[in-house]
């Protein structure tokens, strides 16, 4: 995989220089849906879809996002705003890239008093489409949530995901295990969802047989933490401290986190607790920013 120019950040890692905003609201890319299937059905009203778009005209990288422009107008009579979705596949220019894949969860909220359903605009629009339909895209978006360039990629990684936050890691794992010869550094994927059927791409991840790949699951509604409460990704950090602390404290390790907004607090707390036990002071988490990327929404 050829790298483009590189940029070095002080004390950090060497990222590829990626294209951003090649397509904007005024000159978007219209892409056809070539695959559309249910990944997980949560209820009669809610599901999560795997959507593949014919969008290789866009020069995107795994880890970046694309913008979706839903048709129609908001209640103020203005065109709907762009919504971002993480790319769940390998870079468009990588050999063997399957095309632009998105994982979309419908945004559905029930009003507790009236029982009325509020349906989010873009996610429901995308989930209701079918093969052959067209989607208007902007992007790519984001420069930082990418793996290092080829000559700097042989490092340990910790990938922490909740729900659809698994999206960028699907592409990252493809890059490491299918497109990086001799990659053999430790990789820990910590994936938090409610129940087993929600472990999107479980079969695909289980196929990575590298002895240094560790796929750890936090099933909040099926597992109990040490206090008897719901089990989250921060509990995985705590329970696997012996194995994870040497990786977390290794200056070469890059930690990526993606998913629900609330997850960062728990992860920070678990890492700070670990660090305190190992004599690293009160707020070790804040010292990780040069080798940590998060994308929460
Ligand atoms: C970098 C990034 C990457 C992302 N990646 C993904 C991804 O891979 N997959 C994914 O599924 N999502 C992803 N998202 C989230 C996505 O962008 C959208 O925010 C999400 O799909 C909801 O958009 P929507 O248009 O369906 O909902 P919207 O129409 O935007 O509705 C949701 C919003 O409406 C508000 N709201 C207004 N009225 C009500 C009401 N009556 N009841 C309840 N809420 C109400 C809510 O507060 C909420 O903020 C990502 C976001 C970011 C920033």
Ligand 1 proximity of 245 Cβ (cutoff 6 Å): no
- What is the per-residue pLDDT across 15-57, written as a single tens digit (0 to 9) for each? 999 999 999 999 999 999 999 999 999 998 999 999 999 999 9
Is residue 13 domain-resident? no
Same domain, 62 and 173: no
Claim to verify: residue 54 and residue 155 sit in the same structural domain: no
CATH of the domain at 114: 2.40.30.10
pLDDT in tens, 222-238: 999 999 999 999 999 99
Q: What's the whole-number mean pLDDT along residues 115-124?
A: 96
Residues 194 and 274 in one domain: yes
What's the chain's Rg over C-alpha atoms?
A: 19
Q: Are residues 111 and 168 in the same domain?
A: no
Task: Report the predicted TM-score, pTM, of the whole model to 2 decimal places.
Answer: 0.96
- Of 107, 260, 295, the one to substitute when testing ligand 1's pocket (max ligand atoms within 8 A of C-beta) is 107
Q: Match 């249910």 to its residue by tokens.
A: 38
What does the pLDDT look like over 135-192, one tens digit per residue? 999 999 999 999 999 999 999 999 999 999 999 999 999 999 999 999 999 999 999 9
- The reply to whether 60 falls in a domain is yes
pLDDT band at 1 (very low <50, low <70, confident <90, very high): very low
- Please name the residue whose Cα sits nearest to atom 9 of ligand 1: 104
My answer on whether 219 and 125 are in the same domain is no
Query: Ligand 1 in contact with 84 (CB < 6 A)?
Result: yes
Report the number of distinct structural domains present in the chain.
2
Q: Are residues 224 and 109 in the same domain?
A: no
What lies within 8 Å, CB to CB, of 265 at 6+ separation is none
Same-domain status, 286 and 161: yes
Q: Is the pLDDT of residue 11 over 90?
A: no
Whether residue 63 is found in the same domain as residue 121: yes
For residue 30, tell me if it sits in a domain: yes
The response to whether residue 5 sits with its C-beta less than 6 Å from ligand 1 reads: no
Residue 220: domain span = 150-296
Distance 122 CA to ligand 1 centre (A): 8
Whether residues 77 and 181 share a domain: the answer is no
**58 and 120 assigned to the same domain:** yes
Q: Are residues 212 and 96 located together in one domain of the fold?
A: no
Looking at 86, 108, 141, the residue that finishes a domain is 141
CA–CA distance, 166 with 216 (Å, rounded to integer): 13
Name the residue among 60, 81, 61, 63 with its Cα closest to residue 72.
Answer: 81
């Amino acid at each position: 995989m050829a790298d483009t120019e590189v940029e070095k950040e002080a004390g950090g890692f060497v990222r590829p220089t990626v294209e951003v905003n090649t397509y904007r609201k005024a000159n978007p890319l219209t892409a056809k849906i070539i695959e559309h299937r249910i990944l997980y059905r949560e209820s009669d009203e809610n599901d999560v879809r795997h959507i593949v778009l014919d969008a290789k005209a866009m020069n995107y990288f795994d880890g970046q996002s694309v913008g979706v422009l839903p048709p129609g107008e908001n209640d103020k009579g203005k065109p709907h705003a762009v919504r971002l979705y993480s790319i769940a596949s390998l870079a468009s220019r990588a050999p063997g890239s399957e095309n632009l894949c998105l994982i979309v969860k419908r945004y559905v909220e029930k009003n507790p008093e009236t029982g009325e359903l509020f349906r989010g605009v873009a996610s429901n629009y995308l989930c209701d489409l079918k093969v052959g339909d067209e989607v208007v895209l902007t992007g790519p978006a984001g420069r930082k949530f990418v793996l290092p360039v080829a000559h700097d990629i042989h490092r340990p990684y910790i990938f922490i995901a909740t729900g659809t936050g698994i999206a960028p890691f699907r592409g990252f794992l493809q890059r490491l295990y299918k497109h990086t010869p001799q990659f053999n550094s430790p990789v820990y994927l910590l994936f938090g969802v409610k129940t087993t059927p929600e472990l999107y791409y479980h079969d695909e991840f289980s196929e990575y047989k590298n002895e240094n790949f560790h796929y750890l699951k936090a099933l909040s509604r099926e597992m109990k933490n040490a206090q008897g409460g719901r089990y989250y990704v921060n509990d995985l950090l705590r329970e696997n401290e012996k194995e994870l602390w040497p990786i977390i404290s290794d200056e070469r390790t890059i930690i990526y986190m993606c998913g629900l907004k609330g997850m960062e607090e728990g992860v920070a707390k678990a890492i700070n607790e670990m660090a305190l036990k190992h004599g690293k002071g009160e707020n070790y988490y804040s010292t990780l920013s040069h080798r940590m990327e998060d994308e929460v929404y």
